Amino acid sequence: MLNLQKPLTAVIMAGGRGERFWPKSRTACPKQFLSLTDDSETLLQKTVNRIRGLAAPECIYIVTNKEYMPLVRAQLPEIPEQNLLSEPVARNTAPCIALAAAVIAKRHGSDAVMTVLPADHLVRHEALCADVLCRAASAAAESSAMFTIGITPAYAETGYGYIAFSRADHMPLGVYRVDSFKEKPDSETAREYVESGKYLWNSGMFVWQVQTYLDALQTHLPKAAEIAAEISAACDTPDFDAVVAEQFPKMPAISVDFGILEKAERLYTIPGSFGWDDVGSWPALRRVAKTDTNGNYRSGDIITVGTRDCVISGKNKLIAAIGLEHIIIVDTDDALLVCDADSAQRIKKVTDILQEQGRGELL
Amino acid sequence: MLNLQKPLTAVIMAGGRGERFWPKSRTACPKQFLSLTDDSETLLQKTVNRIRGLAAPECIYIVTNKEYMPLVRAQLPEIPEQNLLSEPVARNTAPCIALAAAVIAKRHGSDAVMTVLPADHLVRHEALCADVLCRAASAAAESSAMFTIGITPAYAETGYGYIAFSRADHMPLGVYRVDSFKEKPDSETAREYVESGKYLWNSGMFVWQVQTYLDALQTHLPKAAEIAAEISAACDTPDFDAVVAEQFPKMPAISVDFGILEKAERLYTIPGSFGWDDVGSWPALRRVAKTDTNGNYRSGDIITVGTRDCVISGKNKLIAAIGLEHIIIVDTDDALLVCDADSAQRIKKVTDILQEQGRGELL
C-alpha cells in the first residue's frame, strides 16, 4: 500500500499526564495506558496498531516520561527496547518530537518520513485513518513541507483547535494549505466554523521528513535544534543516556503547534474523516463509547432510574443513579468523582487541591 | 417536673425499615440504629434520652422487630430486658402500640399514662419537647381523651401530614381539638395550610391512658383489642412469647392514624415548636444537620468545587464533587447512591430492583 523509498517511521507521544481523567487516570498510570472504553486494548496499544500496517516495529518509536517506561514495555513487548525513548523531564511536544527526530535521523537518515501520533486519541475507522496517513506520508516523501492531518468537523465542538485551510497549488489532490490555526472557539464561533466549510479540526497528527522538522527547529527554536544535534550525534553510543539526561531538560518547554507550526511557511493539511476523537475528558466517553437507550455510558455494576446522558464508571461496587442528567460518576478504590458534565474542566481544581494538601497518593 | 399519680410510661416504636436512607440504612441495621447526623448517639438513643427526664428505664418500652433485638440491647443497655417487646412480624403502628399497651396495662395498670414516640425522628430543642410531652401527660392523666403532639409548621413542607385544629372547651390552656387529618399536601396546599395558621404538622407522637387506647381498639379494631387482651393476660407468664408469636400476626396491619385516630371522637392536640424533624429522606439532612457555607451537608473526606445544596456522605474514601447542585451522594462499602434531591423518593425503585434481582445482601 505504502510505497516510499525508505521505510516509514512513526513517533508516538505517550508522555501525557491524563489529568482530565482523574480519578481513573493517575500520575502513576495515565489515560494512554488505560482502556477507557472497556475494550481489551489500551489507547497506546490502539495507537501502535493504527500505524502497524504502515510501519514495522523497528520503525516505531515511543517517547514517554522515564517513569512510564515499565508500562510501555509491558504494553508493547513487540517494540524494540532501543525504540523506547525516555524524557528525563516533561518539556511539551516540540522537544518530544525533536528527541525522536534526532534518533531517527541517525538511524534511518534525515530524509526518512516520520509520522507523529498522540498516544491517547481514539479512531473509529482505523482503515480510513491509515489511508489518510499513507497519503500524507507519500506527499511528505516528495516534499520538504510539513503536513498535518485535519479532521472534517462532525459538529460544532468547542474543545478542539481548528485549522483554516484553502486550496493548494503544486500539491496532490486532497492536500490543502493551512492558512492559520484557531484556538478552541466559543460555541457560536464553532458553529460558524463548521457551517462555513472552511475549517478542520486540528488532530495533532503530523507527517514530515525528519530533516524538515530539524530545519524548522533551527529556524524557530534554535536552542532545541542545537540540543537535537548533540543528541543525534550521541545516539547509539555509550554516551546517549547521559547526553539526553543533561541536554534534554534544557530544551524550551513549548508545544509543536505554538513553537513550530504556527510559524511554519510551508504547512499543509490532509483532511480526513475517520471517527477521530481526542477523548479529552470524561464527557467525551458518551461520544466514543457505547451508550444505553438513555444516552448513558456505563461501565460496571450500575442501576439507573430516570437518568440520562450520564457517564458512569465503576468497578465491582453497585452504583445506583437516580434522576440524574448530564452527570459524571467515576468510582475507584480510593477516590470517587461526581461532577456535572459542564464542569469537567474543573477536575484540575480538585487535583490542585490534593497537591496542595500533600495527598499525592491520590493523584 | 411531672407530677402524675402514677409514673409515666413510654413506648418507643423502633421497627422501621428506613428504606429511604438506603444505602446507609440497611435491612440489617435501619435508620433508627444509625447516627445520621454524625453525633455519637443513634436516633434510637436520642429518643430514649428525650423521654428519660419524664420516665424511668423500667417504664420505657421498646417495640421492634425480633431481628433488631440484638441492636436494641446493645444500644440501650439501661432498659430492662422485659421492656424490650419483639414483634414476630411487622403489622404497622396500631398493633405495635396495642402490644405495648397490653403489657403496660398488666404491669402498670390500665390507668397508666403512655407516651408513644417514633424512634427515628430528630428534635433540636429537647428540653422544649420534654415540656410539651409533660403537659400532654398531665392532660392525659386527667382525661380519657387521646392527645397528639402537633408541630407549629416552620415552612410549607409537603412531606408531612397536617392536623386541622380549633379551640377546645373544657381543656387546659394550650390544648386544642383535632378537627381532621390531612394527607401530605401538594406545595400550593401546604403553603395555604401554613399561611392560614389553622394547621399543625402531625408529629406521630401520642399520649393517652392505656385504657383509652384499649377502648379505642375495641371500638375501631375489635380483633386487635381481643388479641391485646389475650397478650395482656399472658404477660409475665411462661406463655407470653408463645401467645405473642401466635396471636400478634393475626392483628390487622394498619397504622394508628388510619385505624384509630382518624375515627376517634375525643382527640386533642398540643402544639409544640421544638425543632422537630422526621428526617424522612436524605435531603432532610440539610435541614437537621450542620451544612457548609454553600449549604452542603458533608460527612467524610470531601472536596467540593462549585457545589451547593448537596448531601454528601462517605467514609474514608475521598469524594470530589464538582459543579453539582441539589444532589445526594452516599458512598458505602458495597453500594454508591447518586441521586437528584427531587428524586429521593425513587430510591425505593432501586431497592425494588435489587429485590427482584435477588441481591438481598445489598438491601
Cβ-Cβ contacts under 8 Å between A and B: the total is: 122
Instruction: Return the C-alpha cell found at A81.
Output: 527496547
Instruction: Give Dmax (Cα) for chain B.
Output: 63
Residue-wise pLDDT tens digits, B195-243? 999 999 999 999 999 999 999 999 999 999 999 999 999 999 999 999 9
Chain A residues whose CB is inside 8 A of the B330 CB are none
Chain B touched by A335 (CB under 8 Å)? yes
The residue of chain B with its CA nearest to that of A351 is B320
Q: Cα–chain-centroid distance for residue A28?
A: 18
Q: What is the DSSP letter of B83?
A: G
Find which of B338, B345, B348 to mutate to test the A interface (most A CBs within 10 Å of its CB). Answer: B338
Where do the domains of chain B lie? 9-277, 282-362
Q: What is the DSSP letter of A125?
A: -
> Which of B38-42, B89-93, B146-150 has the least mean pLDDT?
B38-42
Q: Which residue has the cell 516534499?
A: A143
Cβ distance B322 to A331 less than 8 Å, yes or no, reads no
> Which of B31-45, B137-151, B326-340 has the least mean pLDDT?
B31-45
Q: Are B55 and B8 in contact (CB under 8 A)?
A: yes
Return residues 16-35 of A near B (CB < 8 Å): 23
B9-277: which CATH architecture?
Answer: Alpha-Beta Complex (3.90)
Chain B residues whose CB is inside 8 A of the A23 CB are 318, 320
Chain B residues whose CB is inside 8 A of the A322 CB are 337-340, 343-344, 346-347, 349-350
Q: Are B110 and B208 in contact (CB under 8 A)?
A: no
Chain B touched by A242 (CB under 8 Å)? no
Q: Cα–chain-centroid distance for residue B52?
A: 17
Min Cα distance B217 → chain A (Å) is: 41
The residue of chain B with its CA nearest to that of A313 is B336
* pLDDT computed for residue A279 by the predictor: 92
pLDDT band at B247 (very low <50, low <70, confident <90, very high): very high
**Residue B26: CB partners within 8 Å, gap ≥ 6?**
B363
Min Cα distance B207 → chain A (Å) is: 39
* pLDDT computed for residue B5 by the predictor: 79
Per-residue pLDDT of chain A (363 residues; tens, 9 = 90+): 567 778 999 999 999 988 899 999 999 999 999 988 877 899 999 999 999 999 999 999 999 999 999 999 999 999 999 999 999 999 999 999 999 999 999 999 999 999 999 999 999 999 999 999 999 999 999 999 999 999 999 999 999 999 999 999 888 889 999 999 999 999 999 999 999 999 999 999 999 999 999 999 999 999 999 999 999 999 999 999 999 999 999 999 999 999 999 999 899 999 999 999 999 999 999 999 999 999 999 999 999 999 999 999 998 899 999 999 999 999 999 999 999 999 999 999 999 999 999 999 999
Whether residue B1 is predicted with pLDDT greater than 80 in this model: the reply is no
Min Cα distance B325 → chain A (Å) is: 9
Q: What does pLDDT average to over chain B?
A: 95
Is the preceding peptide bond at A23 cis, omega within 30 degrees of 0?
yes
Find which of B24, B303, B345 to mutate to test the A interface (most A CBs within 10 Å of its CB). Answer: B303
Instruction: Return the C-alpha cell found at A102.
Output: 534526532
Chain B residues whose CB is inside 8 A of the A361 CB are none
